[in-house]
Structure 1
Amino acid sequence: MKKQNLDLMQFYEGYVRNYRRLNLSSEHNRSMFTKREVDYFANVGEYLGFYTFVEDSKYDRLKGRSRPMDLSWWKWDQRKDKVNYLYLALHLERESLPNKDLETIEKLFSETEDGYVPHNVIGIQYIETLEKITVLNEVIKRKNKLQQSNVLMIYRCYDSMGSIERVEAYYFNSSGLKESRKAIAKVDETGHWFMSFEEEWLDKQS
């Protein structure tokens, strides 16, 4: 089946602009951040008419076993198939530990059964330094030449100089990197996290 590509950069824009609505405070632990962000994308998928599942699984041929997906969106249309989902519309992984960056990519691009190859992929990954992005993006481009998904990778990195997080998004298709956009995450005066696109945030600082 021809890949059904979603406008993943538009999803990134929604993620940034709606982040304050997740009601995440400086008191929350990383598990709560993961839960709220995964739930956010689960809700987006449902609004778009997909069947969404948290902690779904797909078979990994190299591992020889099923592995969990943090979130999946499945396309259902009984007019075309009364038994099976038509395709895996989205596989999302969200990881807080920087040392699991390559493992996150491996999950998103694992060799699997035909019906489990995602048409779209979103990865949200914390990293220790922004310099690591170049290395990780090269891995993604190499793996996606085979998988040929529509890919959005969101990297989050703490900037100790400014007490902010740098949030950088990179959009890929099967041909390679197509677009990128940067944002800032910061705790507001009430102790809650919000995001703003870098150019908008810098404009307010001047």
Structure 2
Amino acid sequence: MRLVIVGGGNMGGAILSALVMAKAVSPENILLIEPDEEKRVSLSKATGCLTQTEIDETLRTYDLILIAVKPQGSTPAMELLAQWILPHQLVISVMAGISMETMRGALGQSKLVRVMPNIPTLIAEGMSIYFASAEVDKRERGWIKTLFSACGSCLEAKDEDAVDAATAISGSGPGYLFYFAEQMTESAKLLGFSEADAHILVQ
């Protein structure tokens, strides 16, 4: 399995790190495309993956293309990908709110997967729900499970709507828990505990 990750931000970087740590994909089989030099160099040093700054014909030698750019950057990224992507390649998106219909129109691609990872993915303890188009075969579905099991746990949805619905549960849920823990910590401090002890109590 050879993988391209487009975008080395928080989520793209977290997925990359989790894959290498779990030995799900060998670093020499991962290409990170990231224009920001600091992010690119940092992730390359940490994981040993290959890197480059721009989307070009190089991605044609890979099996999977994972798009991990912010939703507002999706249009230019997909316009560039559409120039080089091949019909047999599997495209996986972790972009929030970008539908498969939108991706199909922009990329002209039928093998598509939408994934909704959540915040704990940043520490390889995430929960990812995904939906794959009918054109994605059994072997490719196995690849998806391998990738996102390395990031925590994963669940296949019966339809695309479930991916959006999951945002309110596994996507946003950890944020509420973090907020609750933060408030409990502050309450403990008001009761006279030091910040360090308050954190221990809440954890």
**Interval containing the TM-score (normalised by the shorter chain):** 0.3 to 0.5
Query: Which has the larger share of strand?
Result: 1
Structure number with greater Rg is 2
Instruction: Give the TM-score of the pair, scaled to structure 1.
Output: 0.39
Bigger helix share: 2
**Structure with greater contact order relative to length (CA < 8 Å, sep ≥ 6):** 1
TM-score of the two chains, using structure 2 as the length reference? 0.39
